[in-house]
Structure 1
Amino acid sequence: MLIFIIAGLLVHCVFLASIFDIYFTSPLVHGMTPQRTPLPPPAKRLVLFIADGLRADTLYELDDNGTPQAPYLRNIIEYKGSWGVSHTHVPTESRPGHVALIAGFYEDVSAVAKGWKENPVEFDSVFNESKYTWSWGSPDILPMFAKGASGDHVYTYCYTAEKEDFGAQDATKLDTWVFDHVKNFFRAARSNQTLFSKVNEEKVVLFLHLLGIDTNGHAHRPNSREYKDNIRKVDEGINDIVSMLEDFYGNDGKTAFILTSDHGMTDWGSHGAGHPSETLTPLIAWGAGVNYPQKVTFQFFEDEFLKEWKLEKWKRLDVNQGILPLDYLNNSAHFKAESMFTNAVQILEQFKIKMTQKKETTLSFLFTPFQLLSDTEQINILRKARSYIHQEKYHEAVSLCKTLISLALEGLSYYHTYDRLFLGISVVMGFVGWTSYVILLIVKTHTSLTRSTHDKASTVLLLYGFGAIGVLIAFFLLIQTCPWTYYIYCLLPVPVWYAVVKEFRVIQDLASLLLVFPLGQSIGFLVAGALGIEILVFSFFYRSTLTVGLIAFAGWPLITRLWAQAKVTTLSWTLLCLLLAMFPLMPVVGREPNISLMLSIALSTYVVNSTHSSLQHKQGLPVINQIISWTTLASSLFVPLLSPTFFFQRLLSILLSLMSPYLLLSTGYEALFPLVLSGLMFSWIYMEKEALQHYGDSLKPKLAVLNFSYTTDITQFRQLHLDDIRRSFFFVFFIVTAFFGTGNIASVNSFDPASIYCFLTVFNPFIMGSLLVWKIVIPFVLVSCAFEAVQVTTQLSSKSLFLIVLVISDLMALHFFFLVKDYGSWLDIGTSISHYVLVMVFTIFIMLLSGLAQLLTTKRIELWGRTKRHSM
């Protein structure tokens, strides 16, 4: 069994890693010849204001008195610059948002596996191409651009992370800190000749990262007075900085100003997903090289915000984050055409390098070039575009350059995904082979089928045959100088399928059994199994699918005639199934009483109310509440071990102890979820006890006297029955329900920060993430402990359980492998990865949960001076 577990872990690690080699290798290309526009730029310097977490509608709207939220910026829109809405990319988080704004590309998909705070992929940026860049703001944003810069010309000034406190009295201090330090910097520049010379150079960037709005939005919500007051503070601060800079540079007209945001925010104070409140951010530009306001008589946008904002008379120019449109530029048609030509040549250089790389690693007779952009076609388009510019046909030149850019990007994608089909087939072959082997192992070791012995001669012949196939595959990869990971993906199916084919006698026995099995029953079983798997798969996309499954579960006793056998138990099962079925439809997000645990839940309830009341009054997080919260969390896994190991005493102790930290991490209806889920788990244990009538009354235990610590002789474990497949499916379904019952992938990505306020209010992504993970794990632990009880009650071998669950999860994983995306929004990409990864780690997760459940149910700590009580 140990060898099988190790082999299984290795195989699943390979399957898990495969999607990052197939779908998520870096598309960035290095080694291109730099391209520059020959004409001089209109501005010497850029001042970039990024108001983190600022929503477009909140900035542009008027208050009840008709007064703008940001009077100075409103004046810019009406008299000095251009404005619009910047449509951000998902995930609407700070890191990818800033990368898109400053580096000009949506975050490298390969970065999803390499880090959270800093983009770990080497990339170029506006800051790196500047002569000097000075930046002020958050330590979570600024360093990733400084570390990626070549040379020593990107300077950062950051405040400490402790200042990012959601419970602070005034989060606007994060922004006033930036404004004050910029002012001090330019005061110092007047008396420091070296610094004065630097700030007066060409190609200077000043970056002001303003985090106060985001922090206030998380703490108080975007519709709060605090959030809107912070916008006014930012407006005043920008006014001061612009005036100071114009005075410093003597109104030379060579400064360009841009205000925008990395992402917006939902009404409940979160971001990360694709809701319009998160993806619609403001964009206001003015100064050197920027168009003045353009008055229009009519303009149409689907969001219909213009009338609400009273800005329908001023032309709105919407952009996609990371792409600068020509409409914002106030320059000659010649300059725009030259800029577009330079951009086209830059992307074409990337295409050429990508094509050369792929051609060098592919056999010449197997290489298929991108037909739409041959060498001749490239030369013709470039020559024609340059001719248009010389003839002053600038519009035609821009149009032709856009065509070339489109073709080059399509070609880049073609060569980037060149090996995808080949690798995908190899991984699928491994998937199918592994799942087939596990099914054969279940049939061979846990059923009453004849276990045939192997024919030695046939085994040796198979070994040599599959060995020869492996050598041929390795030689084919070697002569193409493929990466070492390709060898793993392509060679893995060889030993897996050898193990399958070697069991051809078991396959014969299984085929013989299926032939004599009633056709209708076989079809019904297959249809039920396929439907069950599809319900699990669909639940990852549509939580309401779990509702359908739970309603079907409610009717299970009627089909199996358990209703007549135990009416009270089946009635409670049905009612609890229907009650639990309500949660996926809601919005995302013993014998002796244990008085101490009940007091713990009451205390947790008090701490939640007390903490949120204190934060509402801007008094911060009370230290005593923080101590109680962390103590409750730390003791939640220890307290159950003090209770007796009788079934219901221990299960009730686990429920009550885990409910306390869950309450501390809850903000709404989800606090009731563990209660309903646990009630259903208790009913499930009773139902499975009643279902044992099919195997004789000797197996039906009395739950009142069952003890988790009682060691069952492994010889008592029975062979598998069809009901055990149903039990394993129930377990997988309840585990999925435990995750999606109150949330989904997007809710994990954009969780409500208020859920961790009882523990901390200072921004710390790792502690916050750990607390969120523990909140998610608690329902899993409850389900696992209940299934531990079901396993002991039904005398079901843990090995056979593990194998059945493995087959179910691998069939789900194969579904999600085909659904993985590397295109579309980041939400689509991230969700597809998350689904696949969740199911792939399911096996490892189940093993860990099983170990934790066994610890919580079977172990007991005897305190000093406590009298031991032995079970009867």
Structure 2
Amino acid sequence: MLLFFTLGLLIHFVFFASIFDIYFTSPLVHGMTPQFTPLPPPARRLVLFVADGLRADALYELDENGNSRAPFIRNIIMHEGSWGISHTRVPTESRPGHVALIAGFYEDVSAVAKGWKENPVEFDSLFNESKYTWSWGSPDILPMFAKGASGDHVYTYSYDAKREDFGAQDATKLDTWVFDNVKDFFHHARNNQSLFSKINEEKIVFFLHLLGIDTNGHAHRPSSRDYKHNIKKVDDGVKEIVSMFNHFYGNDGKTTFIFTSDHGMTDWGSHGAGHPSETLTPLVTWGAGIKYPQRVSAQQFDDAFLKEWRLENWKRLDVNQADIAPLMTSLIGVPFPLNSVGILPVDYLNNTDLFKAESMFTNAVQILEQFKVKMTQKKEVTLPFLFTPFKLLSDSKQFNILRKARSYIKHRKFDEVKPSHLLPCSFVAIGILVAFFLLIQACPWTYYVYGLLPLPIWYAVLREFQVIQDLVVSVLTYPLSHFVGYLLAFTLGIEVLVLSFFYRYMLTAGLTAFAAWPFLTRLWTRAKMTSLSWTFFSLLLAVFPLMPVVGRKPDISLVMGAGLLVLLLSLCVVTSLMKRKDSFIKEELLVHLLQVLSTVLSMYVVYSTQSSLLRKQGLPLMNQIISWATLASSLVVPLLSSPVLFQRLFSILLSLMSTYLLLSTGYEALFPLVLSCLMFVWINIEQETLQQSGVCCKQKLTSIQFSYNTDITQFRQLYLDDIRRAFFLVFFLVTAFFGTGNIASINSFDLASVYCFLTVFSPFMMGALMMWKILIPFVLVMCAFEAVQLTTQLSSKSLFLIVLVISDIMALHFFFLVKDYGSWLDIGTSISHYVIVMSMTIFLVFLNGLAQLLTTKKLRLCGKPKSHFM
């Protein structure tokens, strides 16, 4: 029995130890030939500032007064250098971050088993390749690069580890110590001939590790005054060091400065995981060999967060963290770190095309060297019949690739050396083959359109590969049952949308399901009042598709009732505004009073016009003037209101409701009001679901402004819930269209709806007014969707792509339902369904632009705009 127990224990111990042998063995290889660019580098020396624990948004954003916390670095961005986001990888810890920055590869997995304090594995680094490196900072970081260096040319100056005290009153002293010691070092060098000679050599590096921000973040949180004050201290210190370098070297223009961070930090003061607040770090570069600021009118990033930083006009260049190492080596002309996997970000370089091409070529050869050594090692320890070489990088293909690249450089065809043209060239080649195939079959010209149109579509899809990859990664994190449930619900939802084109009551079924949604999730336990409001307004909206089509039973009393409800809501808003004490209250009150007056006048015009027409006295001229004036002002008055989220949305509702009342004849007057109430609740409930999924929301809904849009491209990946958000948008748009009518409501409508504007028959004018009536609910939904994008911190581009996918799936349904037989009504209806869904793409682009105009623009009644709203 004892033997059995001992044997079992031994076996399980072997299994336990096996994971470290299998998964945590270093993949690094050695024996590569160093590679460096043969051309003279632009810089003689490089200064690397690493602000430990600094988030990108904490550096780039403006404070509550519209001022930068780092004015010197912001001035660099605008006038001297290039900037962007450095994307780190997990684990977002100090050692892995510095290894990626300085050595160019991501943390060796074997370090988990061997410890991270020093050098569990041997690796090459920028410091090792430099002629001399001097570094100042934490004793936890500096030694691992000094002990890993060959020879004695990496010098470290560290403070006592006891200084790293999270309970200390002033952690900024950690950074002050670094700045003071650097200044003392250069002062001492003036009187030390040997040291003076060394620091005037080329290919040298100065590394300043600044730990204060990280320490303050852990102790006080990134939102604290201590953390933000430390950023200002670092900015002042960097300014002093830069000034000292320029003075010491006589402004010779041969110094490159790089400011970045090893990792970010969550709102609760931790790091190590993959949250965007941890993986997004700043990168600001300036000096020798760096591009000057590039002014742009548009950026490749669909990133409204740039507007919050007020940096949308300065080109942003994002990199992966490991890419910074080859950038630094290229700038000072040392060999690329042997284990680096970073790709040189040439857009940062201010140099000739020849230098860029040579540097990229060297970078490629350096990475290829690792592949060759690894393949040789694998081949030596593998039985011949089990070894299969990688065909795409066989010896002959390697030779051909390098020969072609070298030939392009020799003939100064620099664009051909860069791999960014591979994807479009591939699609062009496919297009030529498709066209040739159609040509030899003498196909009609329309076949060329059908055959070639998918190519640009798929090209656009592959360019958004990162968005798709993020979504797939997010989906894989969910339990299988959760994913299957989502898939079934999504499929059922699509079918309900398709059937709603034939049977309006299917919308009622869908809205009833929406009403039950909070009770099927954890929302009910997190936000009871919001969940109850969602259920109530969903069920209330579900009543409208069951009502008769608009125009069959006019009832002016329902229009008056809708107007009274709008006035009641307005009274509540005005009362809340009266309690505020800020300097803009008078302007806000004036805007809302104008809208209340407009609502009252609309109710009067509707009642007066109805009475006049019943008495056969026609449309009064004054009523007609008021109606057209209300219509004209409905798109202008909201722009005078505050850009604070709910205030702007309510202002849009009031203005559009005034027009809608004038175009209503019965119960449909209540429809936009109920729809808007549900939209307000939707915005609230989406923020609750976002917090439930673990994504932190930095602002409360009551303080978010449309002009300070926090829609952050790449600041969080797509989640499975984002598909639901996009589906909700499509469902609400379809509800807005069929909620009070059917497909016949466009081409056969009740003329009584436009009698407040004109009574003389004018088909184009009447049709335009009816079209605007149909559009108003759409505009309300799209404005709410703008708010949802804002509060869920997700790129509008990403959500919009999902919406287009849903629309195209619906269109595919109707494509197969198109009839070419039967009555004219059957054929026409099947075609119109397909056309409506296919037009949704163009329609959504128009509505999205209109919604952005209504929500983000700000006009003032008098005077210049103030920073409060800018």
User: Normalising by the residue count of structure 1, what TM-score does the alignment of the two structures yield?
Assistant: 0.46
User: Normalising by the residue count of structure 2, what TM-score does the alignment of the two structures yield?
Assistant: 0.46
